[in-house]
Amino acid sequence: MLPGPDPRPASPVGGPSGEPPASEPLPGKVPPPPAEAADVFGASLPLAERYVRMLAGAGVTRGLLGPREVPRLWTRHVLNSAAVADLVPHPATLIDLGSGAGLPGIVLALLLPDVQVTLLERMERRTIFLEECIQELGLRNTQVCRATAEEVAGKLDADVVTARAVAPLDRLAGLAAGLVRRGGLILAVKGAAAEEEVARARPVLRRLGMRDVAVVRAGDGKVDRAATVVRMVAGR
């Protein structure tokens, strides 16, 4: 784990006391990969399947996602996150802001080995899970920083900042602005109301110096559930 405002080391692999290892799935609950997963992940598909098992197991038992999400882990979460890879320049450095259970950060690390990924997350139980994912999946291009965006603004920076279901766009842009280099990309995975969010956030985005703001669809024709992404370039 990166040194930061909270220097305490993560708990040993195997989870906090009384919790199952992150790799232990819930019996009968792990969905099989859909056909397009093989095309998207290629040789990394076995690792993606292992990650899905971790999400369906400890990800649920530790409260990182709800049990109702398990049947749609591939379509709604993993492949939707994988679609974002098409928008990431590489080689590059990337910060996944509010990484949670590693969506999209872990998925992008699997797909883009020449991108150095920092999973930025403030909650200890989530960072423990993320550390276990990194070790279980052998992700040498990935590290965890336990902190808030405000705490590491100006201390960490990257070519790309990603975020998925973190905050409304105006607040998210302010958080990401302190983490991205001038001319770098911010990729905010949003839903069907992305255009309306952009319209509401325009005054804040202008004040922050964001430019080339656009709502794009990533993964159309490749995955069943394409990602709607607000893409913007940091101008300051």
**Structural domain boundaries of the chain?**
35-234
Residue 190's contacts (CB-CB under 8 Å, 6 or more residues apart) are 169, 197, 215, 228, 229, 230
Percent of the residues in the chain that have a pLDDT greater than 90, as a whole number: 80
Instruction: State yes or no: pLDDT of 13 exceeds 90.
Output: no
* pLDDT per residue as tens digits for the range 32-71: 999 999 999 999 999 999 999 999 999 999 999 999 999 9
User: Helix (H, G, I), strand (E, B), or coil: what is residue 56?
Assistant: helix
For range 9-32, the mean pLDDT: 52
Distance between alpha carbon 89 and the CA centroid of its chain, in Å? Answer: 16
- We find that the CATH architecture of domain 35-234 is 3-Layer(aba) Sandwich (3.40)
Residue 30 confidence (pLDDT): 85
Half-sphere exposure of residue 31, counting CA atoms within 13 Å on the CB side? 19
pLDDT mean across residues, the chain: 89
* pLDDT per residue as tens digits for the range 149-162: 999 999 999 999 99
